[in-house]
Amino acid sequence: MTSSVPSDAGLTEVLTKIGRASTPQVPQNAWGLSLSRMLKADVAVNSDIAFFGLLSSTLVEHLLAKDLRAVSATPGLSHQIIPVDFSGIVLIDRGALSEGPWFGSYSDSFLTLREEIYELCRKSRQNGIPVWFLDTPAADDPFAIVRIKSACDIIFPYEDMADFEEGARTSAAFTEIMDYVNARFESEVQR
């Protein structure tokens, strides 16, 4: 019993007719230009920046009051302007999904924005940059929020205090963000 393997004969001709094979390979830019460099957006995220990401207005005010520098991500450029060697932390503040340019990113109507947030998280983690999700006291997590959380290293409020049982120290950034999110939850409970 012999099995016949389908032939590739004529495949290139078919693909040429429908356009796939006729599309030339995209050449690499000889000058190393990227979208972010061309728009001069990459200079905004440098070693002086402690936090980058989706930041609500209240979070930005809080960080500035604590003298911590932060840059809010812009839709369309978020994962393209963050340097591979960024020494700060990427923050995804759920509060930012309810205001500003990221408004509604958690709904199925804004699939492109949701996937951009996911890619920001994924590429940051791939480059060793920590990604923290700052939650809000919401009733439920739609699929978009679950997907974004799945790409983050830490989800605040951080409740696994067993990690600190042996006196492990936390960074000032971790403590600051934990205090901010805990205050957010406490103010919601008092309402």
Give the whole-number percent of the chain exceeding pLDDT 90.
Answer: 37
Average pLDDT over residues 94-107: 90
Residue 132: strand, helix, or coil:
strand
Give me the number of domains the chain comprises: 1
- Nearest CA to 110 out of 144, 86, 160 is that of 144
Per the DSSP assignment, residues forming a β-bridge with 91 are 53, 132
Which residue did the predictor score with more confidence, 81 or 43? 81
First to last CA, the chain: 76
Task: Confirm whether 32 is domain-assigned.
Answer: no
Handedness of CA 22, 25, 30, 34 (dihedral sign): positive
Domain around 175 = 44-190
Task: Confirm whether 99 is domain-assigned.
Answer: yes
Nearest-angstrom CA–CA distance, 174 and 132: 9
Task: Confirm whether 15 is domain-assigned.
Answer: no
State yes or no: pLDDT of 130 exceeds 90: yes
Model confidence pTM above 0.85: no
Task: Confirm whether 170 is domain-assigned.
Answer: yes
The total of other beta-carbon atoms located within 10 Å of residue 95's CB is: 19
CATH classification at residue 183: 3.40.50
Is omega for the bond preceding 157 within 30 degrees of 0, making it cis?
A: yes
State yes or no: pLDDT of 46 exceeds 80: no
| DSSP, residue by residue, 5-26 | PPP-TTHHHHHHHHTTTTSPPP
Give the pLDDT band (50/70/90) at residue 148.
very high
Task: Confirm whether 91 is domain-assigned.
Answer: yes
Task: Confirm whether 14 is domain-assigned.
Answer: no
Query: 31-45, 72-86, 121-135, 153-167: which has the minimum mean pLDDT?
Result: 31-45
Given its phi and psi angles, is residue 63 left (phi above 0), alpha (psi -120 to 50 degrees) or beta?
Answer: alpha
